[in-house]
Amino acid sequence: MEAYVITMANNEVSLKGVKNLEASSRKVNNSFNINKFDAIMPGMVKAITLGNGLKWNYPWSGSQTDIKSGLVKSAYATSNPETRIACALSHWLLWNKCLKEDTPLLILEHDSFFLHKLDFKSILKSNYDIVGINSPAAATRKAHKYHDLIQENSAWIQPVPTIDEFNIPQGLAGNSAYIIKQAGAKNLIEAVKEYGLWPNDAIMCKQLIPRLGVTRTYFTRVQGLPSTTVN
């Protein structure tokens, strides 16, 4: 397994977050190094989407029903749309890296922070293709319900909990920290081809992506840094 943190090289918030993340990983004695992955910047969005035949297919205001999937797509708060697309592309490139290099990846955003040493070997032995390791606190909507449902289930790794109606995309507690295997990467890449490019945490939902799980123990949390996609 290789670990990558999506890093905005010239952004003080991102660099501060990465520094804190690296320190937290050392403190819990993780056995792996965290490599920096250069985040896609807004000015690169057009070239990368066009160059890879990708098309953004998610609303910027209100909500709409996706005809192919039947899911309701609700807009995220975003002042500069290209920052949201850039974030999705950063994850998409790492999914491609996972698939092409035939190796599982731990994908981290710069606001991740380790709480416990990561037992990645046990996660890789599980039947899940993508496993979220992040606390839902301040990381997803209906966080309390998300947490309660996970803790009510005694399984160490378990399916993503159902916190909403069946036609609302439901996945990991944000995309701040997750382990992805090649099969999961393939399914995500195929989903983007079929449904278009969505925010990464929306396309990675249990309605579209099989074998999507979460750990009962939260190995990471978010740092509460200012958002680089909302503003």
Note the pLDDT of residue 231: 59
Instruction: Please tell us whether the domain made up of 2-222 is placed in CATH 3.90.550.
Output: yes
Q: What angle, 0 to 180 degrees and rounded to 10, lies between the N-to-C axes of helices 81-101 and 182-195?
A: 140
- Over residues 171-213, the pLDDT tens digits come to 999 899 999 999 999 999 999 999 999 999 999 999 999 999 9
pTM above 0.85, yes or no: yes
- Computed over every residue of the chain, the mean pLDDT equals 96
3-class DSSP string for 120-146 = HHHHHHCCCCEEECECCCCCCCCHHHH
Q: Does the pLDDT at position 230 exceed 90? A: no
Q: Which pLDDT value is given to residue 174?
A: 83
Can you list the alpha helix ranges (DSSP code H) found in 45-80?
Answer: 45-51
Alpha-carbon distance 183 to 211, whole Å?
A: 9
Per-residue confidence (pLDDT) for residue 127, from 0 to 100: 97
What residues does each domain of the chain span? 2-222
Determine the pLDDT at residue 83: 95
Q: With beta carbons less than 8 A apart as the criterion, state whether 212 and 106 touch.
A: no
The pLDDT tens digits of the residues spanning 74-93 come to 999 888 999 999 999 999 99
